[in-house]
A and B are shown apart, each in its own frame.
Chain A
Amino acid sequence: MEKAIEITSLEFEYEKDSKVFSDLSLSIQKGEYVTLLGHNGSGKSTLARLIIGLLEAKSGKIEVFGKELNEENIYAIRSNVGIIFQNPDNQFIGSTVADDIAFGLENHQVPHDEMDSIIKKYASLVGMEDFLDKEPTSLSGGQKQRVAIAGVLAMHPSLIIMDESTSMLDPRGKKEIRDVVKKLRNENKDLTILSITHDVEEAFDSDRIIVISNGKIMFNDVPNKIFEHEKELLNIKLDIPFVYKLRNGLKTKGIDIDSLDEKEMVRLLCQ
């Protein structure tokens, strides 16, 4: 199986002697949907910036689809990796929706004649085809993030990094983005998604969760197993999904419900 990301003994610091990562290693398979879960300031967004070479590691190795990240490869890697940042306003580069989607195409020297059809295709993929001439000030946060996704998709990346892309959105915006991601997953099984978040319910959707705290990987497992570690997760300022909380809480009161399915739990409780 091809590896999408392979990080070995990564070391990084913003300032001298305050290490964000001292020895971090992790790998993500092609086609996987992985969530990087951590509280604010845990270093998870730093990791995203390291993977696309916006920050430079002090030591260690980062490989993206087998290519080592270095000055030579950086543009090749970036053309294969798309990233959606947190703030919808600060990543809207073009003056209109169409211009913004075109920005990446211009950088990759896509001929002018092909641009229009590409822009239309990806705008309609995220449901923004009727807004091509709209300026960012007239769009909602969710719409701007969808444009950012279209801009990224237009470059056919094999890996998409969502760096807290929904944290500044309202419920409607969050739902819009989640739906788009689901659609992408269904349409392209080879697409690798790395989602960075502190929203546990969102993390529940993914294939695998990597919990990160103080620059160290605490857990790395499928969602069902991760949330068994209630105490540890609460200790590092995270939450656990409702069903786990309920089951564990009932257990301390002497009510043992051996299920994590809401319907089954209701049935067992009402017996």
Chain B
Amino acid sequence: MPIKFSHLNYVYSKDTPLETAALHDINLDIIDGSFVCLVGHTGSGKSTLIQHINALLTPTSGSVDVNGIKVMNKKDKKGFLKSLSKEERKHQNIKEIRKNVGLVFQFPEYQLFEETVLKDVSFGPKNFGFSDEEAIKKAKESLKLVGIDESLYDKSPFELSGGQRRRVAIAGIISLNPDILILDEPTAGLDPQGSNEMMELFNILYKNGTTIIMVTHDMDIVIKYATDVIVLKKGDIILECKPHSLFLNDEILKELCVEEPKPISFAKDLIKNGMKISLENVKDTDTLIEEICKARVKYE
């Protein structure tokens, strides 16, 4: 399910006091099977951008094309629909987008509301027309995937710990089997191990063919998992690149107020001092150690 932003502009209605981030002329292609990380300061437009992908926001002008379904404002969409045949028009259904594009908001544990964990996770599939049995089956599958024990299925989600609640909430989106999974800072507030486990889960989904689009501030995540990085600043895309080239760009790092991941800066220092290792292979401490070993073997 490819995504294509063309000349997308978004302006918050001008009379409100809450007028903050907007998007200016966004052009962007996200191809199938990529793991895209969106980085930028709070208010740079990241959240606004991702909400367009499943039509929670409609552009002021321009469009997002998700697998042929266009997200546009009412007026543009009317014109666009006119140009289509009756058969093609049927395909232009927003609910179809929401079914295929799962969006996990920041702190998703706050969207739980059902009496039991299982009911809450099957809520999504039911809304998209699956039968009760199918929905329960999907719910169980995704709960297993996120690592929620069966003994918790009939508990109230509000009895669980914060970390467990977040897993349940994410299961509620995964249960829709989306082709594209969008995540807004899914690891915020988690402890290091919780964060690692969460990322491994998304990595499994990614390996199974789900396109992942993730808003994050964590550069260790970017270097370890991302295939592409998009940097936003005040509503503009200022950089689109591969993770490793992001860390060659000191200006951008400074702008983002982040330091390059420790393994990368260490590897750079090693290269500077004459060790022959390939920076592209360094993704975390473990891969750095492997690279060092390789280089030493060659040397000896």
Residues of A within 8 A of B (CB): 39-41, 86, 137-138, 140-141, 164, 167-168, 170-173, 175, 198, 200, 234, 237-239, 242-243, 245-246, 249-250, 253, 255, 262-263, 265-267, 269-270
Beta-carbon contacts under 8 Å, B237-288 to A = 256-258, 262-263, 266, 269-270, 273-275, 285-286, 288
Partner of B192, one of A140, A200, A243, A249: A200
Task: Answer whether A170 and B41 are a contact pair too, CB < 8 Å, given A40-B161, A40-B191, A239-B192.
Answer: yes
Residues of B within 8 A of A (CB): 17-18, 41-43, 161-163, 188-194, 217, 256-258, 262-263, 266, 269-270, 273-275, 285-286, 288-289, 292-293, 296
Asked if A170 contacts B191 (CB within 8 A), the reply is no
Chain B residues, CB < 8 A from A262: 266, 269
Chain A residues, CB < 8 A from B191: 39-40, 198, 237-238
Asked if A172 contacts B289 (CB within 8 A), the reply is no
- Distance (Å) between the CB of A213 and the closest chain B CB? 11
Partner of B275, one of A137, A141, A269: A269
The chain A residue with its CB closest to the CB of B192 is A239
The chain B residue with its CB closest to the CB of A239 is B192
Partner of B292, one of A170, A200, A234, A269: A269
Chain B residues, CB < 8 A from A243: 262
The chain B residue with its CB closest to the CB of A257 is B292
Chain B residues, CB < 8 A from A263: 269
The chain A residue with its CB closest to the CB of B285 is A245
- Distance (Å) between the CB of A71 and the closest chain B CB? 31
- Distance (Å) between the CB of B257 and the closest chain A CB? 4
Sorted from nearest, which 8 A-B pairs have the closest CB atoms? A239-B192, A242-B262, A237-B193, A270-B273, A172-B257, A198-B191, A39-B191, A249-B289
Chain A residues, CB < 8 A from B43: 140
A to B CB contacts below 8 Å, 10 in the list: A39-B191, A40-B161, A171-B256, A238-B192, A242-B263, A242-B266, A246-B288, A255-B296, A266-B269, A269-B292
- Distance (Å) between the CB of B54 and the closest chain A CB? 23
Task: Answer whether A238 and B193 are a contact pair too, CB < 8 Å, given A175-B257, A266-B266.
Answer: yes
Asked if A171 contacts B217 (CB within 8 A), the reply is yes
Task: Answer whether A242 and B42 are a contact pair too, CB < 8 Å, given A200-B192, A262-B269, A266-B269.
Answer: no
The chain B residue with its CB closest to the CB of A41 is B161
Bound-state CA distance A162–B6 (Å) is 45
Asked if B296 contacts A39 (CB within 8 A), the reply is no
- Distance (Å) between the CB of A134 and the closest chain B CB? 11
Asked if A270 contacts B293 (CB within 8 A), the reply is no
Given contacts A167-B188, A265-B266, A269-B292, list 10 more A-B pairs with CB under 8 A.
A40-B161, A41-B161, A86-B189, A168-B188, A170-B257, A173-B42, A255-B292, A255-B296, A267-B273, A270-B274
Asked if B289 contacts A253 (CB within 8 A), the reply is yes
The chain A residue with its CB closest to the CB of B197 is A237
The chain A residue with its CB closest to the CB of B262 is A242
Chain A residues, CB < 8 A from B42: 140-141, 170, 172-173
Task: Answer whether A237 and B192 are a contact pair too, CB < 8 Å, given A250-B292, A253-B293.
Answer: yes
Asked if B286 contacts A168 (CB within 8 A), the reply is no
- Distance (Å) between the CB of A211 and the closest chain B CB? 13
Chain B residues, CB < 8 A from A270: 270, 273-275
Asked if B289 contacts A250 (CB within 8 A), the reply is yes
Task: Answer whether A171 and B257 are a contact pair too, CB < 8 Å, given A237-B191, A242-B263.
Answer: yes
Chain B residues, CB < 8 A from A86: 189
- Distance (Å) between the CB of A221 and the closest chain B CB? 20
Task: Answer whether A170 and B217 are a contact pair too, CB < 8 Å, given A255-B296, A262-B266, A266-B269.
Answer: yes
The chain B residue with its CB closest to the CB of A237 is B193
Asked if A249 contacts B286 (CB within 8 A), the reply is yes
- Distance (Å) between the CB of A1 and the closest chain B CB? 33
